[in-house]
Amino acid sequence: MEPSAATHADAPAPTRVEAPATGRLLREVPTLDAAAVAELAAKARAAQPGWEAAGLEARAAVFRNARKWVIDNAEDWLDTICSETGKTRDDGNVEVSVAAQSFGFWAKMAPKYLAEEKLRSLSPLAFGRKVAIRYSPVGVVGVIGPWNYPLVNAFCDCVPALMAGNSVVMKPSEVTPLSGLLVAEMMAECGLPDGVLQVATGGGETGAAVIDNCDFVMFTGSTRTGKRVMARAAETLTPVSLELGGKDPMIVCADADVERAANAATYYALNNAGQICISVERVYVEAPVYDSFVAKVLENVQGLRQGPPAGPGEVELGAITFEPQIETIERHVLDARERGASVVAGGRRRPGEGRFYEPTVLVDVDHTMKCMTEETFGPTIPIMKVADVDEAVRLANDSEYGLQASVYSRDMGKADGIARRLQAGAVTINDSQVNFTVFDAPMGGWKSSGIGVRHGPAGIRKYCRTQSILYTPFAPKRDVHMFPYRPWRSKLMSRVVRLLYGR
Ligand code: NAD
């Protein structure tokens, strides 16, 4: 299905979509200019009141259909996702299953999270009055996504926006727009009314036009672009939610189950070829278990298979989706080498067809190196020996980012204490990444990793305007604080205030 906007005769050149695993051209899609985006947004705006009026149950029914659709058509999804990202079938399957889970979650929980609330206020002026809080959709939500999870990190953020009664203009990454077009096809078949979801294909300028035409921006991508998005949105005072980059630390304590920690480091640093915002990007290991941890990680990495998307369970590592990303990975590894790190596995592009970087383990690393301080977003595991937990915490927090972190220890009390000292929006203990699928729990970055959260009650209420309504059912002709002022009443009011707060 093509984007639904008419493209103009002088429209920008189409966007070429290539298969990273082979370098071959898959398809060209239109690059929408500002006028075309405005047209899509106008259609979305026209469709929104009807969608809101349909009610939560009708909206939930569409997403229950979508949950089934995504599973019934999993093979089509895998073909599309894997071809345009180069990820393995197993990594693609993660997207399909997380999307299905997300559709069901929001269908079930949106009524609870958006239910009107009745307040029992502490204010003395609320005596005899009632207060209600309601959540009203903002109107048109713009969702701008990255290329690493073209289904989950673009459309799964549309789901709560749609469930709240908004219409959505979604702009997938120009690197992976085919999944976005398949989303439009899926949702039309699942009963989403015409116009409610618009897909705007194109690059940064298309994204800027989405910001100009919507009432709320949900952005997932790099910190650099996030700053631009916020600046642009400031021109129209459009609120934003930003899910940005990360440099997630993993801390392995001396009392950890070293085998589990090493297996987790291998998987959570290298799944999706390391192209995950919440990848393990750096590891700090207490000295007593450092050698055994490194040995186990190396053993794991040596057994990994890499190649183009193949059948289920056939390769562990896929391609690097975006050409400039492989250059960043190469730069970080080269910089580490030049500053004294040892590359004990991988450390180079895989020769031959396609865009692959070998799974790489770096030791003798420190914070003078980019691989420990800048987001690599690739299949690298830099491991640093630390003297103790205090050093690990200090180094973990020595970062502009604060997306996630993980702690490995057999002592849950100690691990909990470490978690609370870490500057990160989410911390996992004896685990990494799995919190993403715990949709009840909010997740969002601290520091340069973002603003706002996805998931949990706040993950849907952000797409709403909050309205509080105060009811005064039994109203006297005049309240004691109203005009005209009289000395006896002023004295009485002062006495009441003293009585209430002066003790
Ligand atoms: P990116 O910032 O280059 O692009 C993201 C999106 O922004 C794309 O759709 C792009 O077309 C659009 N865009 C570019 N310029 C724009 C502008 N001026 N105005 C509006 N939109 C514009 O990011 P990417 O390379 O696609 O993705 C990788 C980055 O995303 C990494 O930094 C990764 O950590 C981050 N990420 C974060 C999360 C999270 O949840 N925190 C999840 C996935 C990816």
Blockwise average pLDDT, block size 10, the chain, 503 residues: 51 94 97 98 98 98 98 98 98 98 98 96 92 98 98 97 98 98 98 98 98 98 98 98 98 98 98 98 98 98 95 96 98 98 98 96 98 98 98 98 98 98 98 98 98 98 98 94 95 94 93
Beta-carbon contacts of 438 under 8 Å, excluding residues fewer than 6 positions away, are 455
Give the global pTM: 0.96
Beta-carbon contacts of 486 under 8 Å, excluding residues fewer than 6 positions away, are none
Q: Is 228 in the pocket of ligand 1 (CB under 6 A)?
A: yes
Q: Contact, 355 vs 326, CB < 8 A?
A: yes
Q: What is the pLDDT of residue 11?
A: 75
Q: What is the pLDDT of residue 22?
A: 95
Q: Is 377 in the pocket of ligand 1 (CB under 6 A)?
A: yes
Catalytic residue among 84, 243, 286, 375: 243
| Annotation says 277 is catalytic | yes
CB-side exposure of 300: number of CA atoms within 13 Å?
26
Q: Is 225 in the pocket of ligand 1 (CB under 6 A)?
A: yes
Q: Which atom of ligand 1 is nearest to the CA of 172?
A: 9
Pairwise CA distance, residues 192 & 37, whole Å: 20
Question: How far apart are the CA of 442 and the centre of ligand 1, in A?
Answer: 20
Q: Contact, 313 vs 90, CB < 8 A?
A: yes
Pocket test for ligand 1, best of 222, 323, 446 (most atoms within 8 A of CB): 222
Closest CA to 439 of 74, 22, 31, 109: 109
| DSSP percent split of the chain into helix, strand, coil, nearest 5 | 45, 20, 35
Beta bridge partners of 251: 284, 407
Question: How far apart are the CA of 397 and the centre of ligand 1, in A?
Answer: 24
Q: What is the pLDDT of residue 292?
A: 98
Q: What is the pLDDT of residue 9?
A: 63
| Annotation says 243 is catalytic | yes
| Structure tokens, 71 | 């599973």
Q: Is 277 in the pocket of ligand 1 (CB under 6 A)?
A: yes
Q: Whose alpha carbon is nearest atom 8 of ligand 1?
A: 173
| Structure tokens, 313 | 């369970």
Q: Is 244 in the pocket of ligand 1 (CB under 6 A)?
A: yes
